[in-house]
Amino acid sequence: MTSLENPLSNIGSSSDTGDTASNESSTVTNVLSFDLEHWYTATLIRDEVSAPTDRLEESVRVVRELLSAHDTRATFFVVGEVATEYPDVIRELAADGHEIATHGHTHTPLFDLTPNEFESELSDSADAIADAIGSRPVGFRAPNFSVTPKTQWAFDVLSESDLQYDSSVFPVRTPMYGVSSAPVRPYCVDSREPFSAGAYTGSDLVEFPLATFHPVLRIPTAGGFYARLQPTWLLKRGIRNLNRRGIPATLYFHPWEFNSEIATTEVSAHKRFISFRGSDTLGEKLEALLAAFEFGTVERVIENRGW
């Protein structure tokens, strides 16, 4: 397993609770990430879309242009099947300087996998990404943030892989996922207590949890549906709440969320609201965030030990 070299001694300190805020620092680099899958494989709607139009290339193009305009690099968690189907798209992202990580091979939540199947998903997706860009990923995000106490066995599989980090834990409880007691800052994973930040114990796996509004007031503001629904000022406030405590905010989006042409009437009104509401203004929101804060890849934040 690739080592992160240092014990990352400031992880797991008392500041994880966020009780004491330090002065806001402009040196905090936040994580910008995109989950790259076909829009119709989203867990909420995948069983209801019968004849989808594939808009992956045009959706990625919109995001690439937006990031280029702000000279920002991001981490793309790519589904292995997408890397196989669209290797040129993945190569273009890597050529732009973006980090390519894995989002599994078939975009199957861990709730529907066994440990052996998950191990195969990681291996197959890493092979597909390596075939596309010539190097294997060092990071993973589970579809539907499906690393929870029910699937904490995933940390054992991840620790035995060549991956350096995971970004699957959402430290707030929702009807579909989340771990409300998990740390809000990046932390080294102890397989005995994978949702608690303690002293470095030799684990090379670092967890990058998704951003909440505040370390105590854990409203999900990390991106996706939450960013599409919430006003820009509230998203900014949430990022500042974390940055003032030296915590990088890890945000996530999907390229298809920036493409309003994807919205379909084939799914129920409730699911349309969750899946597509706010897509027409999301680009403007992200541009405002990119202008106000510093963002980079997970790899960059790890290298800078920026938390």
Residue 268 lies in a domain: yes
Residue 80 lies in a domain: yes
Domain residue limits at 262: 28-304
More confident residue, 3 or 297: 297
Across 33-42, 95-104, 216-225, which has the greatest mean pLDDT?
95-104
pTM of the model: 0.86
Residue 293 lies in a domain: yes
- pLDDT number for residue 62: 94
**pLDDT band at residue 239 under the 50/70/90 scheme:** very high
- pLDDT number for residue 244: 95
- pLDDT number for residue 52: 64
Domain of 190: which CATH number?
3.20.20.370
Residue 19 lies in a domain: no
pLDDT > 60? residue 101: yes
Tokens 């199947």 found at: 117
Residue 15 lies in a domain: no
pLDDT > 80? residue 150: yes
Per-residue pLDDT, averaged over 254-270, amounts to 69
CA 242 – CA 193 distance, rounded (Å): 24
What pLDDT, in 10s, does the model give residues 57-75?
Answer: 999 999 999 999 999 999 9
Residue 4 lies in a domain: no
**pLDDT band at residue 192 under the 50/70/90 scheme:** confident
**Of 61-75, 97-111, 292-306, the least confident:** 292-306
- pLDDT number for residue 47: 54
- pLDDT number for residue 307: 54
Per-residue pLDDT, averaged over 27-36, amounts to 94
pLDDT > 90? residue 296: yes
Number of domains in the chain: 1
- pLDDT number for residue 220: 87
- pLDDT number for residue 197: 81
Q: Give the torsion sign (CA, 237, 12, 303, 153).
A: negative
- pLDDT number for residue 228: 85
Residue 227 lies in a domain: yes
Residue 128 lies in a domain: yes
pLDDT > 70? residue 263: no
- pLDDT number for residue 164: 94
Q: Which amino acid does the sequence have at 2? A: T
